[in-house]
C-alpha cells in the first residue's frame, strides 16, 4: 500500500511540474508560424491527427472551440484519456512477414464489413466547424468505408444525414433518453427508415456535465437535466426496435457483466470524451480492468471503445486487450474545418498509422494482435484504474 501511495504522489508531482498539453509538440508551431490565425494552412501541411486540433484552435470562434474542447470539472479525465496510452508499452516482434498488412485491415461490425478497425464516434454540433456539418462526415466515411455514428444532437437532421449517404452505406445512430416512449419509438423508426444498422444508447450522462470551459460561452451539454435510465429501461428499449442497441458509456467490469446479463449485443467503453464526470478511468484502463478480472467478456460479445484516441498506436493498445473496434470523435470534429477533404484525410491518416504500427510490431493482420504484444505487468499501472 505504501508503494502505491508513493507512486500516486510521484504522479501528482509530475502532473504539477509540467504544463497541461493537449497534444505533442511535433514542430507545427515552427513549420506554420507564418500562417496567421483565421487562415487555414494548406491541407497538405497536416501530418498528424493532432495538427487538425492546432488549426481548429486558431480558426474557430471562442464558443465553438470551447464546445469541442471542453471536459468536465478540472479536465483531469480529459488529460488522462490522452495520457493513459503512454503508460502502456508494446512488445514488438521482428522478422515476420508484414507485407500484406494493408490488405488485412477489414473489420466486420454487426454483420457489415468496413475498411479498418476504427469508426467515427458520435459528436454533436458539427456545424460549429463547417456549414455542411455532419454531411461532410457521412460523405467522408462513405469514401473511406468507415462506420460513422451520427449524433442525436447533430446540426443536420437525421433525414438530411440519411440523404447524404452513399448507396449501401452503413451508419450507426446515437440515442439519448430525452422524451416519452412515443418519442423514442418515433426516433427508432426514423433511424430504421434512414438505413441505420445500430443504435448506440448513451448511458453515461444521467446528469448534465460540469463543463466549466464551455459554460463561459453558454455552449454546455445539449442533454441537460436528470435523465431516467435503468437496466430494466434498457431491456424495454430492446422491444421497441429490431436494431441492436449498444450501451455506450460502460466504465466498470460490473456494468460490462450487467450488459451481458441484460442481453446487450455489444458494449461500448467510454467516458463521454471526459465531458460528463471528472476523475473517471479512461477506456484503456477499463479495458485493462476487464482483461484482468473477466477476460471472457471479450469473447462473449463485441467490445467497442473510444476516448483520447489520437494515434494508430492508441487503437492497437485497445485492440490488444480485446477491443473489437475503436472510436474517435474530436480529431474528426477538428478536421471538419476543412470539409469533406479534411475528414477524409484524417481517416486516411489513422488507417496509415495503424498499418505502419502493425508492421513495426510484426503483425501481418491487425486482428492478430493480442495481449502478448503489450507489457501488462508494468507497475506504473498500479492504482490508476482501481
Q: Which three cell numbers stand for residue 189?
A: 423508426
Q: Is residue 366 part of a domain?
A: yes
Q: Is residue 47 part of a domain?
A: no
For residues 136 and 126, the answer to whether their CB atoms sit within 8 Å is yes
Rg of the chain over Cα atoms, rounded to whole angstroms, equals: 20
Binding residues for FMN: 122-124, 151, 174, 202, 248, 270, 306-310
Binding residues for glyoxylate: 176, 211, 272, 275
User: Which residues are CB-neighbours of 136 under 8 A, at least 6 positions away?
Assistant: 126, 130, 336, 339, 340, 342, 343
Q: Which three cell numbers stand for residue 158?
A: 437525421
Q: Is residue 223 part of a domain?
A: yes
Q: Which three cell numbers stand for residue 246?
A: 449498444
Bridge-based pairing of strands 107-109 and 112-114 is: antiparallel
Q: Which three cell numbers stand for residue 314?
A: 492508441
pLDDT of 334 reads 98
pLDDT of 357 reads 98
Residues designated as active site: 272
Binding residues: 122-124, 151, 174, 176, 202, 211, 248, 270, 272, 275, 306-310
The phi and psi torsions of 303 (rounded to 5 degrees) equal -120, 125
For residues 170 and 150, give the distance between their C-alpha atoms in angstroms, rounded to a whole number: 11
Q: Is residue 28 part of a domain?
A: no
pLDDT of the chain, 386 residues: tens digit per residue = 334 334 434 444 444 445 677 788 889 999 999 999 999 999 999 999 999 999 999 999 999 999 998 889 999 999 999 999 999 999 999 999 999 999 999 999 999 999 999 999 999 999 999 999 999 999 999 999 999 999 999 999 999 999 999 999 999 999 999 889 999 999 999 999 999 999 999 999 877 777 878 788 778 665 557 888 899 999 999 999 999 999 999 999 999 999 999 999 999 999 999 898 999 999 999 999 999 999 999 999 999 999 999 999 999 999 999 999 999 999 999 999 999 999 999 999 999 999 999 999 999 999 999 999 999 876 555 544 43
Q: Which domain holds residue 133?
A: 86-376
Tell me the C-alpha to C-alpha distance, in Å, between residue 99 and each of 102, 227, 365, 371. 8, 50, 10, 22
For residues 81 and 274, the answer to whether their CB atoms sit within 8 Å is yes
Q: Is residue 290 part of a domain?
A: yes
Q: Is residue 71 part of a domain?
A: no
pLDDT of 376 reads 84
pLDDT of 272 reads 94
Q: Is residue 73 part of a domain?
A: no
pLDDT of 222 reads 53
This model's pTM is above 0.95: no
Q: Which three cell numbers stand for residue 307?
A: 476516448
Q: How many CB atoms lie within 10 A of CB 287?
A: 26
- CATH number assigned to the domain comprising residue 114: 3.20.20.70
Q: Is residue 162 part of a domain?
A: yes
What total number of domains does the chain contain? 1
DSSP structure class, residue 90: B
Amino acid at each position: 500500500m505504501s508503494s502505491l501511495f508513493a507512486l500516486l504522489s510521484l504522479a501528482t508531482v509530475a502532473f504539477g511540474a509540467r504544463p497541461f498539453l493537449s497534444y505533442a509538440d511535433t514542430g507545427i508551431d515552427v513549420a506554420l508560424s507564418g500562417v496567421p490565425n483565421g487562415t487555414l494552412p494548406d491541407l497538405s501541411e497536416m501530418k498528424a491527427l493532432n495538427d487538425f486540433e492546432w488549426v481548429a484552435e486558431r480558426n474557430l470562434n471562442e464558443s465553438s472551440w470551447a464546445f469541442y474542447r471542453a471536459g468536465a470539472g478540472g479536465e483531469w479525465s480529459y488529460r488522462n484519456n490522452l495520457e493513459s496510452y503512454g503508460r502502456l508499452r508494446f512488445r514488438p516482434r521482428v522478422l515476420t512477414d508484414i507485407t500484406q498488412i494493408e490488405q488485412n485491415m477489414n473489420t466486420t461490425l454487426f454483420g457489415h464489413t468496413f475498411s479498418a478497425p476504427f469508426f467515427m464516434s458520435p459528436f454533436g454540433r458539427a456545424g460549429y466547424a463547417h456549414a455542411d456539418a455532419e454531411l461532410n462526415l457521412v460523405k467522408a466515411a462513405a469514401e473511406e468505408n468507415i462506420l460513422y455514428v451520427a449524433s442525436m444532437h447533430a446540426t443536420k437532421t437525421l433525414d438530411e444525414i440519411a440523404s447524404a449517404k452513399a448507396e449501401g452505406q452503413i451508419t450507426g445512430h446515437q440515442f439519448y433518453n430525452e422524451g416519452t416512449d412515443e418519442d423514442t419509438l418515433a426516433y427508432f423508426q426514423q433511424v430504421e427508415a434512414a438505413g441505420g444498422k445500430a443504435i448506440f444508447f448513451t448511458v453515461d450522462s444521467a446528469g448534465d456535465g460540469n463543463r466549466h470551459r464551455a459554460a463561459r460561452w453558454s455552449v454546455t451539454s445539449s442533454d441537460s437535466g436528470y435523465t431516467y435510465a435503468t437496466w430494466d429501461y434498457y431491456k424495454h428499449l430492446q422491444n421497441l426496435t429490431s436494431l441492436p442497441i449498444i450501451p455506450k458509456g460502460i466504465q466498470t467490469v460490473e456494468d460490462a457483466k450487467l450488459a451481458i446479463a441484460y442481453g446487450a449485443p455489444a458494449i461500448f467503453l467510454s467516458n463521454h470524451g471526459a465531458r460528463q464526470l471528472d476523475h473517471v478511468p479512461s477506456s484503456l484502463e477499463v479495458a485493462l480492468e476487464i482483461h484482468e478480472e473477466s477476460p471472457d467478456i471479450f469473447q462473449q460479445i463485441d467490445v467497442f471503445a473510444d476516448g483520447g484516441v489520437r494515434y494508430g498506436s492508441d487503437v492497437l493498445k485497445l485492440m490488444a486487450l480485446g477491443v473489437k473496434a475503436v472510436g474517435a470523435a474530436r480529431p474528426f470534429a477538428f478536421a471538419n474545418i476543412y470539409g469533406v477533404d479534411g475528414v477524409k484525410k484524417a481517416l486516411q491518416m489513422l488507417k496509415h498509422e495503424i498499418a505502419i504500427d502493425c508492421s513495426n510490431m510484426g503483425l501481418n493482420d491487425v486482428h492478430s494482435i493480442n495481449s502478448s504484444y503489450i507489457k501488462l505487468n508494468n507497475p506504473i499501472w498500479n492504482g490508476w484504474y482501481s
